Amino acid sequence: MSIVFWIGLWAALIAIYDWRRQRIANAALIVMLVPALLALFWNGKGLLGAGPGSSLCGMLLAFVVTLPAYPPRVLGAGDVKFAAVLGLLLGLQRTLEMLLWAALLLGLAAVLMWWLKGSRKARFAAAPALTLATLLELMGGPLLL
């Protein structure tokens, strides 16, 4: 089985856990973070083939973009860390595209929740949107170049 399958399965399990419990366990993130970092520094490229600079910039981009949503409690700390690990796996360009997909999916989910519940303060898990955006990127990306 390919690494894409295992990354997709890992992300899907995190999404399901977040959907049910509204949290992401650090141990679940470390399961992919450690092999990703080892591959990056041992092989000179990430698990999905991105170079070290691209992988680290992807991680930084995902962290910087999602961190401002943490203080107002729009995203949880686990969501920010999950996005950062996904950024490390995807590399810079694919992380940018994943974040664009995730923003569209989260916006759609917010409108749907508002429409169904009639409340702007309805909370929902972000990991499923991040996972779906990552899977879209893995199956169809990169799209911007």
Tell me: the pLDDT tens digits for 66-118?
Answer: 999 999 988 999 999 999 999 999 999 999 999 999 999 999 988 888 888 77
pLDDT recorded at residue 110: 85
DSSP single-letter state for residue 67: G
Are 39 and 45 in contact by the 8 Å Cβ rule? The answer is: yes
pLDDT recorded at residue 125: 85
Q: Is residue 42 part of a domain?
A: yes
Closest to 137 measured CA to CA, from 103, 90, 92, 104: 90
13: domain range?
A: 3-140
- What percent of the chain is predicted at pLDDT more than 90? 81
pLDDT recorded at residue 143: 63
pLDDT recorded at residue 15: 97
In whole angstroms, what is the distance from residue 124 CA to residue 122 CA? 7
In whole angstroms, what is the distance from residue 31 CA to residue 47 CA? 13
Q: Is residue 145 part of a domain?
A: no
Q: Mean of the per-residue pLDDT values for the chain? A: 92
In whole angstroms, what is the distance from residue 26 CA to residue 142 CA? 28
Closest to 99 measured CA to CA, from 60, 70, 73: 60
In whole angstroms, what is the distance from residue 104 CA to residue 58 CA? 19
pLDDT interval class at 137 (50, 70, 90): very high
pLDDT recorded at residue 124: 77
Asked if pLDDT for residue 119 goes beyond 70, the answer is no
In whole angstroms, what is the distance from residue 75 CA to residue 22 CA? 10
Domain count, the chain: 1
pLDDT recorded at residue 1: 67
Q: Is residue 56 part of a domain?
A: yes
Record the pTM. 0.92
pLDDT recorded at residue 66: 97
Q: Which residue has the higher pLDDT, 120 or 29?
A: 29
In whole angstroms, what is the distance from residue 100 CA to residue 102 CA? 5
